């Protein structure tokens, strides 16, 4: 009979208990012993739930105190020298210092986990001496077995993926680092084998991206070493997010199981299996339940898929699995009482996916008319949404088709627009601004809660928001910023805010997922055709502009970011949804311009994370992502300045697309990478306005003026000072008042120093 397996489960707790415990500990409100005890109970509760739902292979060591990649670095003692650490088990002070920074040391870089909305902490290897500090998979296995009697499947991140996601070494040093790390992995595996562990899950998602001959040989060497060192331990080499590269080589590795994604990598993996077969001596981990999406699984379809896979791996050598960890979805649909019935009946979060997993495994293992009829009944529950009028808006479809008949392009090229914008704004050399949001204090959050609960009238709430805008416009003027923002105090989240004002969106009550650390978000659900209702940002922006003679930027979230940070309907291509979003946002841009707002920022921090993992698919994505952005912005006047913001990305991968977006000013998060993005500009020219973030807003640390001036100096060795802007990395919503004010004052001082230095080196003005 086939067995079921879950590759991981959310960490945050049904009521976000995990987040609350972390933040209480960081605030000094929770002592370390109690902190450990709370997290242990959350960890065990996750395991109990999976056992109750009948999952055979339950992942252990998928839980984390912050991030699983950071955990792997800590397990091997890879702590950067700027954090106090003398060897042995990494203390929480160093662990959280790497994640969040300290007063004296900047945090490690944080970036996206493949093409998901989850962020991981990038390990730094420069100067490090790895050693096994503690066998985390073994400790997790023991805890599950001794506390609950669960024979867990320990999970650890594979060595090739870990190194490919790390920094601080030259490409030619990769093999030397493998020589240092593989023996430590061997020690972990031998201890697991000695403990009596039956199966271990080693995640190597890097094999779904580009894999060359050298990497293939590395994998062969790594896993041959593992097989020889722990011969009694069964290894499930787990892949996810796409089909594997070099399939024939991967399935020939000396492991006992291969886990493949048959949701996002279905066509590629099936084609490879048909071409090369599947080894008769291996177990197939068949990822047929989507670990990233929120829609109910079409179980009849997946049952037919499993029947096909059974031709390659018989029932006793087939594990029915989630396609990846359930880390990426909310915990349960239960309690979502405010959603339309037709939508709620079409949803499956983590707990419901466990039920699906158990249901389809049972049907596959013991085929019966009753079991198959049950699957058909399950599938019919979501059919009402498919027939909903929300998904059949002919007015939206026709309007989008009409605007795409004409190329989306600004009326004049950037140099001519730049001259018109300089004539209008007369900005100084190296103008300063922020990315949009200012601290949302307890008072702001409380006011929003009171308004939503009905305790405050709309008039009282709007008066409060205006008071916040007035306060922060004055503070920005006092600090000396050149281009202001209204602060976004009326916005809970940069995607949710717009989704609530557009047709085609729905919002959960408790649909939280982890974004990074304790930061949890509730992604909107795009379930129908997207349509503009009425102006969404004009009132607050024009009010802010009425308070100052300095320019105030209108602030919008771009179509690709809304798309990538939402759960998106699965009956329409993502490209088509992006065009609908773009058309709706264009109407907002035009409304802002009509109201006199002459700088409009359309943020696209998530454009890079939507880039497909396969190189062959990237050009098509870039084409429609750029087109969607230009649909939003192409109709404004020449003197209207379009800004955009992006989070850190491998700039050279996106330079052509970013140029094609044709924004007048782009700001890019870079400080957390310690300025490494600037290297891209030493080989790639960028001839439009650009701001590289000069300090990290994800950390409470206030950086020194010198740190900022060093970043500015380095950037201006490759970029034109005439086109350079100075700004923080990102929005300041999550930061406190005092640290925000002090950091911005340091930024303004850095700008003053830079202006004095570069004023004589450039001709400024028009």
Residue 270 has a pLDDT of 98
DSSP 427: P
pLDDT tens track for 109-135: 988 899 999 999 999 999 899 999 999
Residue 519 labeled ligand binder: yes
Q: What's CA 101's distance to the chain center, in Å?
A: 20
Domains of the chain: 56-238 (3.20.20.210), 395-761 (3.20.20.210)
Token digits for 699?
């950390």
Residue 19 labeled ligand binder: yes
Residue 765 has a pLDDT of 43
Contact (Cβ atoms closer than 8 angstroms) between residue 425 and residue 641: yes
What's the start-to-end Cα distance of the chain, in Å? Answer: 76
Share of the chain above pLDDT 70, in %: 97
DSSP 761: G
Q: What is the CA radius of gyration of the chain?
A: 26
Residue 324 labeled ligand binder: no
Residue 766 has a pLDDT of 37
Q: Which of 264, 643, 674, 698 is catalytic?
A: 698
Q: Tell me which H or E stretch contains 357.
A: helix 350-365
Residue 134 labeled ligand binder: no
Token digits for 392?
């059949």
Q: Provide the pLDDT confidence category of residue 256 given band limits of 50, 70 and 90.
A: very high
Q: Provide the pLDDT confidence category of residue 763 given band limits of 50, 70 and 90.
A: very low
Neighbouring-strand partners of residue 667: 645, 691
pLDDT tens track for 645-664: 987 555 666 788 889 999 99
In degrees and rounded to multiples of 5, residue 613 shows phi and psi of -70, -30
Q: What share of the chain is helix, strand, coil (3-state, %, to 5)?
A: 45, 15, 40
Distances in Å between the alpha carbon of 122 and those of 73, 107, 215, 484, 494? 9, 10, 20, 33, 25
Instruction: Report whether pLDDT(417) > 70.
Output: yes
State the chain's mean pLDDT as an integer: 93
Alpha-carbon gap, residue 643 to 629, rounded angstroms: 11
Token digits for 582?
């773009």
Contact (Cβ atoms closer than 8 angstroms) between residue 608 and residue 654: yes
Token digits for 6?
């879950």
pLDDT tens track for 381-402: 788 898 899 999 999 999 999 9
Q: Provide the pLDDT confidence category of residue 576 given band limits of 50, 70 and 90.
A: very high
Residue 264 annotated to the active site: no
Alpha-carbon gap, residue 221 to 136, rounded angstroms: 24
Token digits for 544?
């802010």
Q: Exposed, middle or buried: residue 355 (CB in 10 Å: 0-12, 13-18, 19+)?
A: middle
Q: Provide the pLDDT confidence category of residue 673 given band limits of 50, 70 and 90.
A: low
Alpha-carbon gap, residue 61 to 43, rounded angstroms: 9
Residue 565 labeled ligand binder: yes
**For range 398-423, the mean pLDDT:** 95
Task: State pTM to two decimals.
Answer: 0.91
Residue 18 labeled ligand binder: yes
Q: Provide the pLDDT confidence category of residue 677 given band limits of 50, 70 and 90.
A: low
Token digits for 390?
């929300």
Residue 624 labeled ligand binder: no
Q: Exposed, middle or buried: residue 146 (CB in 10 Å: 0-12, 13-18, 19+)?
A: exposed
């Amino acid at each position: 009979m086939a067995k079921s397996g879950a590759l991981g489960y959310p960490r945050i707790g049904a009521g976000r208990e995990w987040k609350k415990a972390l933040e209480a500990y960081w605030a000094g409100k929770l002592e370390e012993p109690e902190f450990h005890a709370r997290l242990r109970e959350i960890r065990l509760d996750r395991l109990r739930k999976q056992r109750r739902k009948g999952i055979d292979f339950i992942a252990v060591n998928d839980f984390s105190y912050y991030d699983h990649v950071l955990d792997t670095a800590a397990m091997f003692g890879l702590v950067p020298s700027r954090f106090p650490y003398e060897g042995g088990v990494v203390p929480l002070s160093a662990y959280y210092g790497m994640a969040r920074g300290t007063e004296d040391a900047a945090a490690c870089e944080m970036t996206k986990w493949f093409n998901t909305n989850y962020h991981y902490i990038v390990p730094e290897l420069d100067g490090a001496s790895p050693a096994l500090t503690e066998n985390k998979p073994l400790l997790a296995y023991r805890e599950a077995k001794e506390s609950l009697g669960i024979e867990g499947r320990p999970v650890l991140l594979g060595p090739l993926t870990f190194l490919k996601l790390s920094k601080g070494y030259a490409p030619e040093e990769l093999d030397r680092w493998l020589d240092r790390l593989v023996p430590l992995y061997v020690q972990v595996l031998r201890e697991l084998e000695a403990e009596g562990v039956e199966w271990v899950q080693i995640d190597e998602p890097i094999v779904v991206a580009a894999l060359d001959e050298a990497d293939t040989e590395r994998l062969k060497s790594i896993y041959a070493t593992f097989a020889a060192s722990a011969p009694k331990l069964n290894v499930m080499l787990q892949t996810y997010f796409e089909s594997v590269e070099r399939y024939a080589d991967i399935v020939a590795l000396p492991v006992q199981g291969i886990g493949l994604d048959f949701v996002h990598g279905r066509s590629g993996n099936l084609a490879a299996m048909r071409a090369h077969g599947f080894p008769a001596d291996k177990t197939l981990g068949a990822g047929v339940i989507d670990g990233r999406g929120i829609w109910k699984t079409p179980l009849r379809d997946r049952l037919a898929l499993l029947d096909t896979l059974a031709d390659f791996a018989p029932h006793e050598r087939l594990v029915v699995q989630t396609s990846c960890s359930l880390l990426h979805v909310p915990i349960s649909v239960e309690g979502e009482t405010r959603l339309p019935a037709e939508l709620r009946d079409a949803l499956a979060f983590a707990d419901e996916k466990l039920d699906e997993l158990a249901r389809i495994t049972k049907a596959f293992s013991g085929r019966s008319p009753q079991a198959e009829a049950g699957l058909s009944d399950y599938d019919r529950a979501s059919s009402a949404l498919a027939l909903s009028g929300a998904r059949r808006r002919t007015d939206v479809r026709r309007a989008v088709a009409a605007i795409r008949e004409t190329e989306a392009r600004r009326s004049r090229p950037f140099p001519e627009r730049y001259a018109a914008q300089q004539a209008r704004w007369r900005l100084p050399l190296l103008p300063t601004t922020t990315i949009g949001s200012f601290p949302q204090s307890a008072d702001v959050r409380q006011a929003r809660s009171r308004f939503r609960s009905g305790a405050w009238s709309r008039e009282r709430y709007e008066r409060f928001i205006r008071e916040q805008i007035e306060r922060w416009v004055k503070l920005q003027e006092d600090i000396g910023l050149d281009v202001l923002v209204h602060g976004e105090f009326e916005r809970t989240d940069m995607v949710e805010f717009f989704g609530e004002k557009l047709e085609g969106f729905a919002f959960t009550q408790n649909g939280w997922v982890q974004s990074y650390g304790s930061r949890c978000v509730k992604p909107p659900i795009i379930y129908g055709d997207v349509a503009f209702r009425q102006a969404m940002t004009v009132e607050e922006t024009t009010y802010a502009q009425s308070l100052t003679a300095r320019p105030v930027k209108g602030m919008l979230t771009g179509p690709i970011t809304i798309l990538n940070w939402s759960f998106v309907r699965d009956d329409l291509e993502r490209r088509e949804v992006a065009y609908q979003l773009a058309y709706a946002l264009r109407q907002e841009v035009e409304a802002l311009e009509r109201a006199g707002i002459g700088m409009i920022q359309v943020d696209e921090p998530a454009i890079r994370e939507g880039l497909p993992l396969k190189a062959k698919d990237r050009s098509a994505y870039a084409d429609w992502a750029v087109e969607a952005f230009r649909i939003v912005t192409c109709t404004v006047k020449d003197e209207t300045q379009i800004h955009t913001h992006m989070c850190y990305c491998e700039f050279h991968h996106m330079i052509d697309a970013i140029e094609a977006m044709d924004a007048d000013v782009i700001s890019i998060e870079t400080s957390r990478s310690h300025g490494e993005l600037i290297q891209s500009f030493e080989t790639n020219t960028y001839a439009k306005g650009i701001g590289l973030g000069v300090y990290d807003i994800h950390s409470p640390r206030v950086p020194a003026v010198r740190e900022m001036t060093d970043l500015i100096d380095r950037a201006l060795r490759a970029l034109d000072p005439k086109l350079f802007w100075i700004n923080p990395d990102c929005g300041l919503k999550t930061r406190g008042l005092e640290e925000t004010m002090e950091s911005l004052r340091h930024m303004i001082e850095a700008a003053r120093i830079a202006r004095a230095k570069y004023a004589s080196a450039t001709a400024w003005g028009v």
